[in-house]
């Protein structure tokens, strides 16, 4: 496996703060500084500055468009030369606010300005759903564009990158700046042109992949001096002419919790084909052998860590089954690894949950967004093991040319900021991993959402009956309802139940996703029933139809609690936006995956306690169990993410040097 040379990482770390995670006393000191950092009254200071910026409105509102354009050129010169002061920054924000009003008819509220100031200060700004994060980002992005070193605005998918670039284009153009976006399938010349723009909208996957491709193009060149010398000595042959990015200066990450935390576990890998017929055959054989082993007698499983372990009897049985195969099956360790992987694929990777099958291929479903990832594969032969379980044509594993985790990549930016509707729960992780403080910005109007207590049931059947009953109640009252599920399978199951009840509805999941934005945008119409996986149209506002507010607003139902409380809050945040009425409630059961995976003994105890009770078993105790188990799952996920970052460091030290020789 090839990695980026370790000396390159260390050079970048010194300049950007992408150092290794602290350990021991250093880690304790880092955590302590995070606690002290949270005591700084940032929100109060930012709101006070935002009010000052709003008071400057008359300085620009009475100017003609021509005079405003002249003012933009003056600001550009001021910030390009680095002669600006905090007062100049506030004046520039007031200027951009006026431009937004004239070009889009939208004037940022004080809370949006406070969020923009937080972004400019290198913080994570928590702005609730519907509070206008896209518009807030234009203010710090414009300042960064005027500085002349570029600004990347990172979004979660190509649709949002293209939409936001087009939507905010008028503001940037008026301010004398260029704007572009990068999307999948774009050719290198177009990519290079997009990155040369003052403001570039792109996804985390595209910007990281382009960074890795540029690193491969540079080869053994480890820094700017070597690159410049190589260009002088070798001309076009130096690799510098193939670069598409111009550097990692400033990034504003939209949906920062999703990009910087939820997706941080999966590294981005640049790989190439490596045909190996014998290896492909081994995956098929492993699937056949795994099918002959018995649960508990030959292998055991750990639900929480998603691990399979062969018993002594299982190893003996596998030795007997593989005796006649020879070749790769002669070695005990290798055959056990292959069969354990096949068992893992069959037990923990389920169709219509972790993946779907389309056109004879396994397509991964993103666990946190519910979206398809056709350009992704699981590593270390797991993808091929799943293909073997599904009896599909197996594509050989690929050779890795370069890899980097999203955690490590984003720590390379000279300046990093983010915005999301759910950051408070992850404030410690944002500080420990990225040294980014979290600022919770209040809503422009008071939130009047009714947060109802969880309804708890002993079994899944009782839970689904209750969910259908609640949906019917909303529908009959003329209220729209958005129902969130954790998997494609669950959304399709609920769809069948609603069809049986004669309730017309729309389903949004990884399979039925083509009209995602339109379906979500219309989810607020009277009596509308929308069933959606985790994606729930992040980035698209749900506006209430006529008469819906009077009926009680949008109701949101979660059919399970997620392994992160942030995901629940993201779903609930779809209702009661910008002062609208609405409600949110989770309807759960003791058989849900959260309890089954992270607290199987507790789940079994309560199931024995309540037996086959069909009615609701909600109480302080049963509800509290879900809170406790959810926090346990969050701690496990944090350890896994830190493990990924430390693995990067290990690979860096042990393989990077050899790879550069």
Up-side HSE of residue 402: CA atoms within 13 Å toward CB?
18
> What pLDDT was estimated at residue 6?
39
Tokens encoding 600: 């199987």
Can you tell me the mean pLDDT for 637-641?
Answer: 84
Please state the pTM of the whole predicted model: 0.85
Tokens encoding 420: 């999301």
Q: Sign of the C-alpha dihedral, residues 218, 220, 224, 225?
A: negative
More confident residue, 378 or 53: 53
Can you tell me the mean pLDDT for 120-145?
Answer: 95
Low-confidence winner among 471-485, 542-556, 610-624 (lowest mean pLDDT):
610-624
Low-confidence winner among 8-12, 164-168, 482-486 (lowest mean pLDDT):
8-12
Topology agreement, domain 6-17+122-270+406-440 and domain 450-618: yes
Contact 417, 124 (CB under 8 A): yes
User: Token match 């979500």: residue?
Assistant: 520
Torsion on CA atoms 54, 58, 62, 63, rounded to nearest 10: -70
| Alpha carbon distances (Å) from 475 to 193, 467, 571 | 50, 12, 19
DSSP assignment of 206-240 equals HHHHHHHHHHHHHTT--SHHHHHHHHHHHGGGGSG
The two most distant CA atoms of the chain are separated, in Å, by: 88
Chain centre to alpha carbon of residue 211: 19
Can you tell me the mean pLDDT for 317-327?
Answer: 88
Tokens encoding 607: 């199931």
Conformational region of residue 553, where left means phi above 0, alpha means psi within -120 to 50, and beta covers everything else: left
∠ CA 507-512-518 to the nearest 5 degrees?
70
More confident residue, 32 or 553: 553
Domain ranges in the chain?
A: 6-17+122-270+406-440, 274-397, 450-618
- Dist. CA 20–CA 407, nearest whole Å: 11
> What pLDDT was estimated at residue 182?
96
- State the average pLDDT for the chain: 87
What residues contact 81, with CB distance under 8 A and at least 6 apart?
none
What residues contact 631, with CB distance under 8 A and at least 6 apart?
565
> What pLDDT was estimated at residue 657?
40
- Dist. CA 365–CA 373, nearest whole Å: 6
Residue 368's pLDDT band, with cuts at 50, 70 and 90, is low
Tokens encoding 303: 């639900």
Up-side HSE of residue 298: CA atoms within 13 Å toward CB?
19
The matching CATH number, chosen from 3.50.50.60, 3.40.720.10, 3.10.129.10, 3.40.50.300, for 450-618 is 3.40.50.300
Low-confidence winner among 2-6, 339-343, 387-391 (lowest mean pLDDT):
2-6
> What pLDDT was estimated at residue 106?
94
Helices and strands in the chain, H and E counts: 27, 21
Can you tell me the mean pLDDT for 139-166?
Answer: 94
- Distance, first Cα to last Cα, the chain: 14
What residues contact 600, with CB distance under 8 A and at least 6 apart?
303, 304
> What pLDDT was estimated at residue 115?
97
Residue 221's pLDDT band, with cuts at 50, 70 and 90, is low
Tokens encoding 58: 């008359």
Low-confidence winner among 96-100, 268-272, 615-619, 633-637 (lowest mean pLDDT):
268-272
Contact 259, 208 (CB under 8 A): no
> What pLDDT was estimated at residue 369?
67
> What pLDDT was estimated at residue 121?
95
Radius of gyration, CA atoms only, the chain = 27
More confident residue, 578 or 14: 578
pLDDT in tens, 396-453: 887 878 888 888 899 999 999 999 999 998 999 999 889 999 999 999 999 999 999 9
| Alpha carbon distances (Å) from 195 to 165, 407, 468 | 13, 21, 49
65-80 vs 133-147: helix crossing angle, rounded to 10: 60
| Alpha carbon distances (Å) from 203 to 374, 415, 452, 510 | 15, 17, 35, 18
Length of the chain in terms of residues written = 661
**For the chain, what percent of residues have pLDDT higher than 90?**
58
Q: Are strands 399-405 and 267-272 parallel, antiparallel or unpaired?
A: antiparallel
**For the chain, what percent of residues have pLDDT higher than 70?**
89
> What pLDDT was estimated at residue 336?
92
Question: Is it the case that residue 237 has pLDDT exceeding 70?
Answer: no
More confident residue, 600 or 229: 600
> What pLDDT was estimated at residue 223?
58
Question: Is it the case that residue 659 has pLDDT exceeding 70?
Answer: no
User: Token match 């989810």: residue?
Assistant: 523
Can you tell me the mean pLDDT for 522-541?
Answer: 80
> What pLDDT was estimated at residue 16?
40
Conformational region of residue 296, where left means phi above 0, alpha means psi within -120 to 50, and beta covers everything else: left
- Dist. CA 421–CA 417, nearest whole Å: 14
User: Token match 């951009």: residue?
Assistant: 96
Tokens encoding 579: 């002062």
Up-side HSE of residue 449: CA atoms within 13 Å toward CB?
23
Q: What is the CATH number of domain 274-397?
A: 3.90.1440.10
> What pLDDT was estimated at residue 2?
42
Can you tell me the mean pLDDT for 278-289?
Answer: 90
> What pLDDT was estimated at residue 216?
86
Q: Sign of the C-alpha dihedral, residues 157, 163, 168, 169?
A: positive
Q: What is the CATH number of domain 6-17+122-270+406-440?
A: 3.40.50.300
Can you tell me the mean pLDDT for 174-201?
Answer: 96
> What pLDDT was estimated at residue 76?
95
Can you tell me the mean pLDDT for 21-48?
Answer: 81
> What pLDDT was estimated at residue 327?
82
Question: Is it the case that residue 512 has pLDDT exceeding 60?
Answer: yes
Residue 640's pLDDT band, with cuts at 50, 70 and 90, is confident
> What pLDDT was estimated at residue 11?
36
């Amino acid at each position: 496996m090839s990695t980026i040379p370790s000396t390159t990482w260390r050079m970048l770390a010194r300049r950007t703060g992408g150092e290794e995670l602290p350990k021991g006393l250093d880690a304790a000191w880092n955590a302590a500084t995070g606690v002290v950092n949270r005591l700084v009254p940032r929100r109060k200071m930012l709101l006070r500055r935002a009010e000052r910026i709003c008071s400057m409105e008359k300085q620009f509102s009475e100017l003609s468009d021509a005079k405003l354009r002249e003012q933009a050129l003056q600001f550009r010169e001021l910030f390009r030369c680095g002669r600006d002061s905090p007062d100049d920054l506030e004046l520039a924000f007031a200027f951009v606010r006026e431009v937004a009003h004239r070009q889009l008819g939208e004037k940022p509220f004080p809370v949006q300005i406070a969020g923009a100031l937080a972004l400019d200060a290198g913080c994570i700004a928590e702005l609730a759903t519907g509070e206008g994060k896209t518009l807030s980002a234009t203010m710090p992005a414009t300042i960064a564009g005027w500085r002349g070193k570029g600004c990347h605005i990172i979004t979660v998918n190509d649709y949002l990158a293209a939409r936001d670039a087009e939507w905010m284009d008028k503001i940037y153009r008026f301010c004398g700046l260029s704007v572009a976006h990068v999307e999948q399938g774009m050719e290198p010349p177009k990519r290079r042109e997009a990155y040369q723009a003052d403001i570039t909208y792109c996804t985390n996957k595209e910007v990281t992949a382009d960074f890795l491709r540029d690193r491969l193009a540079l080869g053994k060149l480890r820094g700017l001096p070597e690159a410049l010398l190589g260009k002088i000595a070798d001309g076009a042959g130096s690799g510098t002419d193939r670069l598409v990015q111009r550097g990692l200066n400033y990034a504003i990450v939209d949906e920062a919790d999703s990009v910087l935390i939820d997706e941080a576990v999966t590294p981005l890998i640049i790989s190439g084909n490596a045909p190996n017929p014998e290896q492909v055959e081994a995956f098929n054989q492993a699937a056949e052998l795994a099918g002959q082993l018995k649960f508990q007698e030959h292998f055991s499983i750990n639900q929480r860590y998603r691990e399979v372990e062969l018993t002594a009897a299982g190893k003996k049985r596998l030795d007997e089954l593989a005796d006649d195969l020879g070749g790769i099956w002669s070695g005990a360790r290798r055959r056990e690894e292959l069969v354990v992987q096949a068992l893992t694929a069959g037990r923990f990777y389920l169709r219509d949950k972790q993946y779907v099958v389309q056109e004879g291929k396994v397509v991964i479903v993103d666990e946190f967004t519910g979206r398809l990832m056709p350009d992704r594969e699981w590593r270390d032969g797991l993808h091929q093991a799943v293909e073997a379980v599904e009896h599909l044509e197996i594509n050989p594993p690929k050779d890795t040319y370069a890899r980097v985790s999203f955690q490590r990549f984003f720590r390379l930016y000279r300046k990093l900021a983010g915005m999301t509707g759910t950051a408070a729960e992850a404030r410690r992780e944002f500080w420990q991993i990225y040294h980014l403080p979290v600022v919770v910005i209040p809503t422009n109007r008071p939130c009047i959402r009714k947060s109802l207590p969880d309804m708890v049931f002993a079994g899944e059947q009782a839970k689904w009956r209750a969910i259908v009953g609640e949906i019917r109640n909303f529908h009959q009252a003329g209220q729209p309802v958005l129902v969130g599920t954790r998997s494609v399978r669950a959304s399709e199951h609920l769809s069948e139940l609603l069809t049986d009840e004669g309730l017309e509805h729309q389903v949004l999941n990884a399979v039925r996703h083509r009209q995602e934005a339109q379906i979500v945008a219309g989810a607020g119409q009277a009596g509308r029933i929308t069933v959606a996986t985790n994606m729930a149209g992040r980035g698209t506002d749900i506006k209430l139809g006529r008469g819906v507010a009077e009926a009680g607003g949008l109701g949101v139902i979660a059919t399970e609690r997620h392994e992160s409380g942030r995901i629940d809050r993201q779903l609930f945040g779809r209702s009661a936006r910008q002062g609208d009425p609405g409600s949110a409630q989770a309807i759960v059961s003791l058989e849900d995956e959260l309890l089954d995976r992270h607290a199987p003994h507790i789940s079994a105890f309560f199931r024995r306690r309540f037996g086959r009770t069909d009615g609701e078993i909600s109480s302080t105790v049963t509800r509290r169990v879900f809170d406790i188990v959810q926090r346990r799952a969050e701690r496990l996920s944090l350890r896994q993410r830190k493990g990924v970052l430390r693995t990067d460091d290990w690979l860096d030290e042990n393989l990077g040097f050899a790879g550069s020789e």
